[in-house]
Amino acid sequence: MSSTTHDVYYVPAPSKWPVVGSTALFLLACGFISLLHFGHTQGVVLLGAGFATLTYMLFGWFGNVIHESETGKYNEQVDASFRWSMGWFIFSEVMFFAAFFGALFYARQMSVPLLGDVDNQLVWPGFKPGWPSAGPYIGTEFHPMSAWGLPAINTLLLLTSGVTVTWAHWALKAGNRTQLNLGLAATIALGLIFLFCQMTEYGEAAFSLATGVYGATFFMLTGFHGFHVTLGTLMLIVILGRCLRGHFTPEHHFAFEAVSWYWHFVDVVWLGLFVFVYWL
């Protein structure tokens, strides 16, 4: 890397990828709306086109960034900007889940008791005050998800995956490539097992998204978390592929750190879900 690269902030050439990404999001939005309102076939086609365009953008854009990083075009100033960007991204994700946890708190502690009993008068006949609530549906009976089955196993899986990804990080900083690859592979395997267990849990659930506010908050919170675990697992697979190709050094490996931060964030969110959605 030349001395000029160290002194001057790297400005990439004009790129097509933001336009491609915006097109992908537009197609996804149109496909989802079409699927809801106009017709199954049209919506599926637009959604498929959107996902294909998004995949093309991700491979192309991140491929460019990886090439620029591996050819020494980034300096410490660029590294700092990446770290700030990832930090703000994770903060936005924290606020995203905080909104859903807030909705859960409002429904459970304020809305349901208020609707169930106003001056000792039921607002809706057949509505059963208390949590969990299926809403004002006469005769609606369901069993909430127990915390001590698959959710407890999933908690153990994610906590263990946090240990294995940290173990891999230590190995990278120590220059131990074998331990690095094993740690990443173990983390990916634990993530995939978690997703399998969550899908099994959904199949065994005695309620659905339409089962009142309990079903809505349960599937929104756990579903979005599962989506984040899926993204995190895909990112870990990419990082493992890069490690197998010899990318990263003990001094320069921010891409690995960024994915590690994201994975630890997913772990922490799951602990909140286990306590407030399953246990309490």
pLDDT in tens, the chain (280 residues): 444 445 567 777 788 999 999 999 999 999 888 887 776 778 888 889 999 998 999 889 888 888 888 877 777 888 888 889 899 999 999 999 999 899 888 877 777 666 655 445 555 555 555 566 655 554 455 666 777 888 889 899 999 999 999 999 999 998 899 999 999 999 999 999 999 999 998 888 777 776 777 778 888 888 889 989 998 999 999 899 989 988 888 888 888 999 999 999 999 999 988 988 888 7
- Residues 6 or more apart whose CB falls under 8 angstroms from that of 35 comprise 42, 43, 44, 47
Residue 251's pLDDT is: 81
Residue 34's pLDDT is: 86
Residue 268's pLDDT is: 93
Instruction: With beta carbons less than 8 A apart as the criterion, state whether 252 and 242 touch.
Output: no
- Measured CA to CA, the distance from residue 129 to residue 107 in angstroms comes to 12
Provide φ and ψ at 7, rounded to 5°: -95, -20
Instruction: With beta carbons less than 8 A apart as the criterion, state whether 165 and 235 touch.
Output: no
Residue 1's pLDDT is: 41
% the chain with pLDDT above 90? 36
Output the six-digit token pair for 250: 């003990």
- Measured CA to CA, the distance from residue 121 to residue 138 in angstroms comes to 16
The domain defined by 75-279 carries CATH number 1.10.760.10: no
CATH architecture under which domain 1-74 falls? Orthogonal Bundle (1.10)
DSSP 104-166: HHHIIIIIHHHHH-BTTB-SSTT---SSS---S-TT----PPPTTSHHHHHHHHHHHHHHHHH
CATH 1.10.287.70, the chain: domain bounds = 1-74
CATH 1.20.120.80, the chain: domain bounds = 75-279
- Measured CA to CA, the distance from residue 184 to residue 232 in angstroms comes to 12
